[in-house]
């Protein structure tokens, strides 16, 4: 197997994973329409981004 194919096979899952994290994170923007205060918005944003954060950590470890 040549080195170009090895690089493609190495980086493709990581790039797809990062794009998936960005896609999942887009759904967190709905918390800004709720009209919560600063801390309520912060807590809701954190809760919505928690799966993205965990997935990003898993991608980093991999």
Quick one: pLDDT at residue 34? Answer: 79
pTM of the model: 0.76
Range of the domain at 22: 3-61
Are 28 and 45 spatial neighbours (Cβ–Cβ below 8 Å)? Answer: yes
Segment-wise mean pLDDT, segments of 10 residues, the chain, 62 residues:
87 93 91 85 92 93 87
Domains in the chain, number: 1
Quick one: pLDDT at residue 25? Answer: 92
Quick one: pLDDT at residue 21? Answer: 94
Q: Half-sphere exposure (CA, 13 Å, Cβ side) for 25?
A: 12
Cβ neighbours for 30, distance < 8 A, ≥ 6 positions apart: 48
């Amino acid at each position: 197997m040549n080195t170009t194919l090895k690089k493609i096979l190495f980086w493709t899952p990581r790039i797809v994973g990062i794009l998936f994290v960005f896609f999942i994170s887009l759904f967190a923007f709905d918390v800004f329409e709720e009209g919560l205060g600063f801390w309520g918005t912060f807590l809701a944003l954190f809760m919505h981004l928690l799966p993205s954060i965990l997935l990003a950590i898993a991608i980093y470890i991999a």
